[in-house]
Amino acid sequence: MRVFRGFHHPGIAPACALTIGNFDGVHLGHQILFSEVVSRAYKHEGTSVVITFDPHPLQVVRPDFGIKLISNEQQKEELIEMAGIDVLVIIPFSKEFAATPAETFVDEILVKTIGVEHLVIGYDYAMGRGREGNIDFLKAQGKEKGFPVTVVEPFYVDDMLASSTKVRALITDGKMRYVKKLLGRYYQIRGEVKRGKQRGGPLVGFPTANLAISPEDLCPKHGVYVTQVIYDGKCYGGVLNIGYNPTFGGDQLVAETHIFDFNQDIYGKPIKINLLRFLRGERKFSGPEELSAQIRKDAEEARQVLAEAQKEIVLSCEERYNR
């Protein structure tokens, strides 16, 4: 996938099919949009294009809203590439850009710069100053300027609307099984392993890999989770605690992961952590011994959950190949 940042690049035609949006989280609703774009481009031997923005527009026009992102820019790029998109255009979003009239955006960016031949948009999409570029506007623009517009309807899973707002709410509530249904994958946090207080191994008997959580990041419900930890191309089971470590009077929000069957020095190394299931809320224990006993129980339960998840994968593969 080719990635362009900004406005100044050659036209992307021939037969460019594209969609536009923030695509935070790249949930199943977004993936359906991408699939439609790829299909339209393939039929006309053309190019599939996604336009997105950085930073998130709400961070610029409504900083008081305090939007928390499901995925960072790197994750979003990876997920869009996995959807089979040919070209990703990332437009820097500013207050000046937010004031751009919708028709100017269509003329200068979609038509002249990119060369749109088919536009695919979600059912609730609107662009331009004051969101004036709604679906009716875009259909009229397409009719006038020679590109058809396809509107993708809302997508539901178990009566849940696949939307970034819904996914954020589920993550905040720790409902990771439902999150997976809307994302089509486990929710993931990532970062470099930081050197912590060095209490996990010596005091508690369970060494941890620590990630600092930025105030701008979407933080899941505080507590203990079953995890898959991805490091150096390999996947390990584990248990994660997100919170302030009240047993030791902590005052900094951290994510501490005990990785099963793992004994490597990974300080300063990047890891990815998939959150499979919420086990319990964060608690203050009387001391290291009580905390250690509880972590041992958490680890036993986590291993059972991981075994069940692996069994599901095996059964799914068997069903696929026995059809």
Q: What percent of the chain lies above the pLDDT cut of 70?
A: 90
Exactly one of 81, 256, 289, 290 is catalytic; which is it? 256
Residue 113's pLDDT is what? 87
159 has pLDDT over 80: yes
How far is 130 from 74, CA to CA, in rounded Å?
A: 29
Residue 34's pLDDT is what? 98
120 has pLDDT over 80: yes
Residue with the bigger pLDDT between 83 and 291: it is: 83
Express each pLDDT in 238-278 by its tens digit: 999 998 877 666 677 889 999 999 989 889 999 999 999 99
20 has pLDDT over 90: yes
Residue 291's pLDDT is what? 85
Strand arrangement, sheet containing 234-243: 187-192, 270-280, 223-231, 234-243, 254-259, 209-212
Residue 318's pLDDT is what? 53
104 has pLDDT over 70: yes
- Tell me how far apart the 2 most distant CA atoms of the chain are, in Å: 72
Average confidence score pLDDT of the chain: 89
How many CB atoms lie under 10 A from the CB of residue 54?
15
Residue 122's pLDDT is what? 96
Question: What residues have CB less than 8 Å from 302, skipping those under 6 apart?
Answer: 226, 227, 237, 238, 239, 260, 279
Most confidently modeled of 4-8, 63-67, 269-273, 307-311?
269-273
Task: Answer yes or no: 319 catalytic.
Answer: no
215 has pLDDT over 80: no
Residue 10's pLDDT is what? 59
Express each pLDDT in 160-207 by its tens digit: 999 999 999 999 999 999 999 999 999 999 989 988 665 544 445 578
Averaged pLDDT, 224-230: 95
pTM: 0.90
90 has pLDDT over 70: yes
What is the b/e burial string over 120-157, where b = at least 16 CB atoms within 10 angstroms of the residue's CB? bbbeebebbeeeebeeebbbebbeeeebebbebeebeb
Confidence of residue 320 (pLDDT cuts 50, 70, 90): very low
Instruction: Tell me phi and psi for residue 50, to 5 degrees.
Output: -120, 130
